[in-house]
Structure 1
Amino acid sequence: MKSSFLGHGKVILIGEHSVVYGYDALALPITSLHIKTTVEPSEKMWMDTAHYQGPFFMAPDEYDGLKYVVKTMLKKAASQAALKITYTGEIPIERGLGSSATVALATTRAMNDYFHLNLTETEIINITNHAEMINHGKASGLDAATVNSDCLIFFNQKDGPKPLRSKLQATLLIMDTGDLGSTKKAVTQVHKLLNESPTAQSNLEQLGRLADETKTAWLNKDAATVGLAFNRAQEILHSFNLSTGKIDQLQKIALANEALGFKLSGSGLGGIVIALCRNEDDALKIAHKCQNIVAHSWIEEI
């Protein structure tokens, strides 16, 4: 007997960090980036990933969220079964592409199917979100909602996810800096800054408002205004010391080559960046000029 689930990644368009404090955010599922989780019987509890192969509960600390998921699901199944859980796919870790939420959700769903638990959607998302809290110290629920969606998500903690199926009619260039980010470090850094600086608090409020402005512009198919919102959001995220020299370099190249807007996506301190472009040709031109600086790039029609 074997159960598998294919989970996809995401990018935060706008509202990272402010969403943790109750403001709105917009995030986009990236279905072309995925991780497959397979659960099957084994002689001992075993994890098999690109980075770790060994006893499941002896995996490094970065897998603590997954350990929680597996323990929780075994308890719900009232089972002491030994399992081999295999993760295969192409979402780079610690880049802001939702890898931790993707594998937590996929593991929950695969084990739900394996043990025929028939958990509700709410139960599945709650387990995923708790794993994210373990992974990152503080999680808004945005990542779990987006990797569980097939369309754009407008999100806040109070109201939860709301799907937006409207298209902007533009092109998004996603570039992986190749540098590992640390969500836990970034969240802690921003929290400390907010406690020390009234200016940072004002900037956080503005970041929240920019998400609302982006939603309105998106529904009006006003890509130019979305681009301006991206640029202002990047200024704020830079003021939180979340940018890097490489991110700043990529920003200069993108904006010098007709990008409508540019910003980091996710926690920052590395990870991915996004450039909003009018069309695929502009995106390809920017990607070509950045190819020696970035590890990977993807283009999504939005």
Structure 2
Amino acid sequence: MQTSYLAHGKVILIGEHSVVYGYDALSMPIQSLNIKTTVSENNNPCHYMDTDRYHGDFFKAPSEYAGLKYILQHFLTLKPNSPYLKISYRGLIPIERGLGSSATVSLGTTKALNDFFQLNLSEQEIMAITNHAETINHGKASGLDSATVNSDYLVFFNKKTGVEILKQKLNATLLIMDTGDLGNTKEAVELVKNEVTNSPKQAENLTNLGNLTVQVKKAWLNQDAECVGNAFTQAQKYLAKLKVSTPKIDHLCQIALDTGAYGTKLSGGGLGGIVIALCSNQELAQAIANKSHKLISNYWIEEI
């Protein structure tokens, strides 16, 4: 018996970090970045993990796979007389870039195991397992990543009120640039926590960052891309003040603005990872990517 699940990545448009403190966030799925999780029986006496980076005993995998270990152990508790399993992961989402690689494999593993064991878990139960794995991976996970990799549409998210799906298009183009530098969500979340706890000014910066998401949602529904872009640039200023930007991110943002982008910012935890630039069309996005080629390892262009 074999079951598979294909899960896609995501990009946070606005609200990273502030979403952890109860503010709104807006994020979108990226269907072109995905990972397929396949579960089958293993003929050898161990649970086996097969990825591009690790091949071996599932429970002896490096600590970065701690969330996945939790998921498998949880299902083995639900099905105590299970056969040994082989769980394979195929696809490419660059890790530690803010593209949702962790949430993608967590959701894919949960859904594939649910199907393999024919447990018929509810969507709420599946998301609870996925979010717990994300908390293990990142410290204090908001649930935003899991909600977005589980959606085919734009996600307006709040920890208290949950997910609101937005099908409205902005009629603009999003350039996603990979700095090639690994981010560290857990480290970034802890850094921001220390900043806002110890400095009233930083707490104010976080509040200002959080309030921008409502502005973006309203502008998005009005298809006002220029207003959305201005909010992106404002958000980047607050993220930089909160110390999660880097000189390379700042440089990429400046190139994008100088070339004519509506707005630009880091996306995700920061300290590396990706930069997004909102553009009027694909030609402008390509021009920015071309000017930035020495600073980035890859880029993607999405119509939004």
CA distance in 1, matches of 2:294, 2:82: 49
Matched, 1:211 2:225: no
- Taking the TM superposition and a 5 Å limit, the aligned residue runs for 1:101-120 are 101-120=103-122
Cα drift, residue 220 of structure 1: 0.3
The answer to whether the 8 Å contact 1:265/1:272 transfers is yes
Counterpart in 2 of 1:283? 285
Matched, 1:31 2:31: yes
Counterpart in 2 of 1:84? 86
Count of residues paired in the alignment: 302
SS at 1:221 equivalent: coil
Cα drift, residue 80 of structure 1: 3.5
- Taking the TM superposition and a 5 Å limit, the aligned residue runs for 1:1-302 are 1-42=1-42, 43=44, 44-302=46-304
CA distance in 2, matches of 1:243, 1:16: 12
| TM-score normalised over the length of structure 1 | 0.99
Cα drift, residue 78 of structure 1: 2.8
Query: Deviation string for 1:181-237 (max 9, x for gaps)?
Result: 100000000000011111111111111110000000000000000000000000000
Cα drift, residue 77 of structure 1: 2.2
Query: Deviation string for 1:128-187 (max 9, x for gaps)?
Result: 000000000101000000000000000000010100000000000001111001000000
The answer to whether the 8 Å contact 2:205/2:242 transfers is no
Moved over 3 A (4+): none
Structure 2 letter corresponding to 1:262:
T
Query: Deviation string for 1:41-60 (max 9, x for gaps)?
Result: 10221111111111100011
State percent identity of aligned pairs: 60
Structure 1 letter corresponding to 2:140:
K
The answer to whether the 8 Å contact 1:77/1:117 transfers is no
SS at 1:247 equivalent: helix
Moved more, 24-33 or 286-295: 286-295
CA distance in 2, matches of 1:61, 1:76: 23
SS at 1:94 equivalent: coil
Structure 1 letter corresponding to 2:31:
T
CA distance in 1, matches of 2:77, 2:247: 46
SS at 2:269 equivalent: coil
| RMSD, aligned CA | 0.7
Change in 2 beyond 3 A, CA 1:21/1:183:
same
The answer to whether the 8 Å contact 1:37/1:85 transfers is yes
Cα drift, residue 242 of structure 1: 0.6
